[in-house]
Every structure is written in structure tokens, then in C-alpha cells.
Structure 1
Amino acid sequence: MTLPDLASQFVYGRLAWAVVTATVLFALLSLLRAAPLPRRARAVLLAGMAVLFLLPGKASPAYWLTLAFQYPSGLLFGCCVLKLRQHWDGRAGGAPVMTPSLAGALALTGLLLYLDAMGLLTQGYYYAGFGPTAAPVLAVLGAIGCALALVQGQARAQAGALLTTILLFTLLRLPTGNLWDAVLDPLLWGWAVVTLAVNAVRNRARTRATTSPEPVAGQSAELQPVSSLSPLGPAAMEHSSTIKE
């Protein structure tokens, strides 16, 4: 087991938490504002976030976030960089960073890890991320899969973020020296679960809209008033009744 250098952990933690927090802040602003912030306002906001998170010791929000959540995973950091790029370009509603396939893989992996951590599976999946055999093999297989996705042009943004995560883990052992901490953390897992839930609700609503019963032909005419069935309306019916009298 090789742990990352403390200096690299310090730099990574400050940078990663600054990017994650800025992404969340921009997402909230996009929900509250109909139009995106001007480019200058976005630059000032990002610069202020960088200065705030680089403050020493307890003055930095990264200090308290690290105490509460440890370090963000490399994949969360990469996904937030992609999302932050969309906000910077004014494309907050662009292509989703958390795709359904990525969300499904992360949700299932996190579920297995959390069940194992709670003692319901007791297979030692998390501790295998420190192992000298399983972790390198999984990292190599993941890097090969990401490279193939980049060559074939499939989910290139997500594949690039995952490949960068694997490289950070391989070269610097960030963030904690465990492979699972590099690709998953509670915040990223929650993002994946919420994405799956939202997609499920939308698909259910779309299915209901497409399968809703349509009015049967001829049924609407039976339900209309008698006066509306006459091509000339009530005046013509009154005139016809006068002639009969």
C-alpha cells in the first residue's frame, strides 16, 4: 500500500474542493436566474472562490469540508470541471455530464461498497482498493476502456475524466491511495442516484403521456349539445320550429 504525499494531498484538496463548490454555486445560480451571469461576473466569482479556498488553515472552507467528507474523488473533480466548463461557456443546459450509463455504474458500485462497509457483504471490496494486485489490474482495465471510448468517440468527456482520474491515482496515488476513493465518493454517488431517480420519473411521465387514452371517434359528437350539432346553430333550429308551427 502506497499513500500519496501529504503536500500533494494538500494541494489537491484545496483545488478539488474549490472546483466542486464553484460548480454547486453556479448550478444554484442557474436555477435562480433565467439568464446566465455575464462573463466578467463569472470570472470574478471563480477568482474569489480560488482565493477563499487557498486561505491557510481553518480560514479555508476546504479545511472543514475535508473534515466532513475527506477528499473529493478524482472522478467527481473531473465531472465538476466538465460542468463548470459548461457554466463558463453559458451552456448550463447542455449535454449532461452524468449520463444514465455512468450514473448506473456508479450507483451499483457504490451500493456494493457501502453494503460491504456496513458488514452486510463482508467481502473486503473497499480494502481491495489498497491491494497490490486487484487495484492495478482494475486501473489498467479501466484505462484501456477509457482509451477505446476516446478513440471510438463514445462519451469522450466522461471517458477523459475517468482516464485522468486513473492517471492521478497511478502517478500520485491521489486522493488517498485507494482506487475506490479515486473513482467514487459519497457526493458523486448521491449525484448518480439523484440522476437515476430524475430520469426514472421523467420516463414514467413520458410513458403515461404516450399511453394516455384518446377520445374514440364519434364519441365527442354524442356528448355535444344538440344546438352545437346543427351547422347553423340555435337560430336555425328556432327558425325551423317557427315554420312547423
Structure 2
Amino acid sequence: MSLPDLASQIVYGRLAWATVVATVLLALLDVLPVRRLSQRTLAGLLAVLFALFMLPGAASPAYWLALAFQYPSGLLFGCCVLKLRQHWDGQRGGGTVMMPPLAAAIAVSGAILYLDAMGLLTQGYYYAGFGPTAAPLVALLGAAACAVAIVRNLARPQAGALLTAILLFTLLRLPTGNLWDTLLDPLLWGWAVTSLVTLALARIGQHSRVPGARLPEPVRAADLNTLSPLAPLGAAQQSTTIKEHVSGN
């Protein structure tokens, strides 16, 4: 087991937390009725935010965030960079960074790891991320799969983010020296679960609405007479009554 260098760990923590916080702030601006930020305004906001997070020691907000949540995973860092790129390109709301296959993989693997951490599985899955054989092999297979996806243009941004996370682990052992901390963290897991729940609710809403369906209109009395099986008999009786009335006159 090899741990990352402390200096690189501190720099990564400040940079990653600044990126995550910037992404959250811009996501909040998306849901508020405000005008889209220009590139100059966005650049100034990001510059101030990153400068604040790069302050030394306890003066940096990243110091306190690291005490509470440790470090963002490399994959969360990459996904947040993708969201910031969408804002920079002027895509308010942007595309789906957390695609359903990626979200499902994160949700399932995270649930297994968290159940194991709580003692409900007790298989030691998390500590396997420090292993000298299994963890490098999984990282190698994951990097190869990401490279193939990038070459074939299959979810290229997500594959690039995942490949970047694996390279951070392989080259610098960031953020903690554990493979699972590179691919997963509570914030990323919550993002994945939320996106899956939102997608499921949207599909349920679509299935509940039948295209082209109309509410039944109120039926008039004349329509009831027309639709009744005794309507011809009633019409014949009415015609006979009229003839008798004319003959009597």
C-alpha cells in the first residue's frame, strides 16, 4: 500500500473542492430566474473562488470541507469539470453528465461499499482498494475500457473524466491511495442516486399521460335519444302521433 504525497494531496484537495463548490453554485444559478452569466463574469467569479480556496491553512474553505468530507473523488472532480465546461460554453443546464449507465454503476457499487462499511456485508471490499494486485488490475481494465470508449466516441466526456480519475490514482495515488476513493464518494453517490430517481419519476409521468386522450364531454339529452336502442321506435311513434293530429284537424 502506497499513500499519496502530502503536498500533492493538499493541492488536489483545494483544487477539487473549489471545482465542486463552483459547480454547485452555478447549478443553483440555473434554477434561479437570473440572466445567464457572460464568460467574463463567469471567469471573474471562478478566479475569485479558486483564489479563496487556495489560501493557506485554515483560511481556505477547503481545509474545513476536508475535515468534514475528506477529499472529492477523482471522478467527481472530472464530472464537475464537465459541468463547468458546459457553463463556459453557454449551455445553461447543459447536457446529462451523469448518464444512466454511469449513474447506475455508481449507485450499485456505492451501495455495496457502504453496506460493507456499516458491517452488513463484512467482506472487506473497501480495504481491497489498497490491495497490491486487485486494485491495479481493476484500474488497468478500467483505463483500457475508457480508452476504447474515447476512440469509438461512446460517451467520450464521461469516459475522459473516468480515465482522468484512474490516471490520478495510478500516477499520484490521489486522493487517498485507495482505488474506491478515486471512483466514488458520498457526494458523487448522492448525485447518481438523485439522477436515477429523477429519471424514473419522469418516465412514470410520461407513461401516465396517454397521447391524444381527451376527457369525455357531457352528453346531451338529444344524444341520449339518438344512442338509445329504442330510438327508432320512439321516432316511429312520434311520426304516427303527428299524422293522427293532422288527420283529426
1:153 & 1:80 partners in 2: Cα distance? 20
Following superposition of structure 1 onto structure 2, how do residues 76-87 of structure 1 map, counting pairs within 5 Å? 76-87=76-87
2:221 & 2:56 partners in 1: Cα distance? 79
**Percent pairwise identity:** 65
Deviation at 1:33, TM superposition (A): 3.0
Q: Name the TM-score, length of structure 1 as normaliser.
A: 0.87
Q: How many residues align?
A: 227
1:213 & 1:125 partners in 2: Cα distance? 51
In the alignment, which residue of structure 2 is the partner of 1:140?
Answer: 140
Task: Tell me the amino acid that sits aligned with residue 46 of structure 2.
Answer: L
In the alignment, which residue of structure 2 is the partner of 1:206?
Answer: 206
Deviation at 1:212, TM superposition (A): 8.9
Following superposition of structure 1 onto structure 2, how do residues 217-232 of structure 1 map, counting pairs within 5 Å? 220=217, 223-224=219-220
1:15 aligns with 2:15: yes
Task: Tell me the amino acid that sits aligned with residue 151 of structure 2.
Answer: V
In the alignment, which residue of structure 2 is the partner of 1:28?
Answer: 28
RMSD: 2.3
Deviation at 1:172, TM superposition (A): 0.2
Q: Name the TM-score, length of structure 2 as normaliser.
A: 0.86
In the alignment, which residue of structure 2 is the partner of 1:175?
Answer: 175
1:130 & 1:92 partners in 2: Cα distance? 39
**2:82–2:157 contact (8 Å) kept in structure 1:** yes
Deviation at 1:225, TM superposition (A): 6.7
Following superposition of structure 1 onto structure 2, how do residues 79-158 of structure 1 map, counting pairs within 5 Å? 79-158=79-158
Structure number with greater Rg is 2
2:157 & 2:36 partners in 1: Cα distance? 23
1:92 & 1:174 partners in 2: Cα distance? 31
Deviation at 1:94, TM superposition (A): 2.4
Query: After TM superposition, what 4+ stretches of structure 1 lie above 4 angstroms from structure 2?
Result: 211-215, 224-227
Task: Note the alpha carbon deviations across 1:14-50, whole angstroms, 9 max, x for none.
Answer: 1000000000001101111343112221111101101
**SS of match in other structure, 1:94:** coil
1:71 & 1:176 partners in 2: Cα distance? 8
**2:103–2:196 contact (8 Å) kept in structure 1:** yes
Task: Note the alpha carbon deviations across 1:68-121, whole angstroms, 9 max, x for none.
Answer: 000000000000000011111110222210011110000000000000001111
Task: Tell me the amino acid that sits aligned with residue 16 of structure 1.
Answer: A
1:163 aligns with 2:163: yes
**SS of match in other structure, 2:210:** helix
Structure 2 stretches of 5 or more lacking a match? 224-249
1:98 & 1:68 partners in 2: Cα distance? 25
In the alignment, which residue of structure 2 is the partner of 1:73?
Answer: 73
